[in-house]
Amino acid sequence: MNKNLKRILEKSNLNLTAEQEKQFEKFVRIFLDESVDIMCEKDYHGEWLGEQLFGHFGLSAEGKSAADVEGFLIKTIDGETLFRTYDDVGEFRDYTIAHQDLKITIVDQEAYFYQRGEEYVLDYSPKILGISNDGSTILGKKE
């Protein structure tokens, strides 16, 4: 979570769960995005204000296109999903995903979709998970 958002939560004396904190952060991002869009549309000095807001929250006004960049979606130990890129010498950079509807194409041949009850899951292939079509696993038949 952004350091400024953490400060807001600390000063508010709210005891939010990790999930509630994520929802709060998502709300603030959407609120800022929508506010800047409206200000720009109505010409309320939106570009200047948008630059000030995003600069204040740690984003530069200028960026670099991410189109055609290869990387990995990773899940951290605390459950946060990040986009990781590697340079030519193997060093990586992790990006927080703020984009609300990012279009992706999965090229990993070992990625499979599953349904578990009402939940839809994207996981590794049955081979990697040790699952066969008859429901057996590397540990034997499923009960």
pLDDT in tens, the chain (143 residues): 667 677 777 777 777 788 887 787 788 778 777 776 776 666 655 556 666 666 666 665 567 888 999 999 999 998 889 999 999 999 999 998 878 788 899 999 999 998 888 999 899 988 888 887 665 655 555 54
Q: What is the DSSP letter of 42?
A: T
Task: Please check whether residue 49 is in contact with residue 38, taking contact to mean a CB–CB distance below 8 angstroms.
Answer: no
Say which amino acid occupies 15.
N
Q: What is the DSSP letter of 50?
A: H
Give the integer Cα–Cα distance in Å for 36 and 48. 9
- pTM here is 0.51
105 conformational bin, left if phi > 0, alpha if psi -120 to 50, beta if neither:
beta
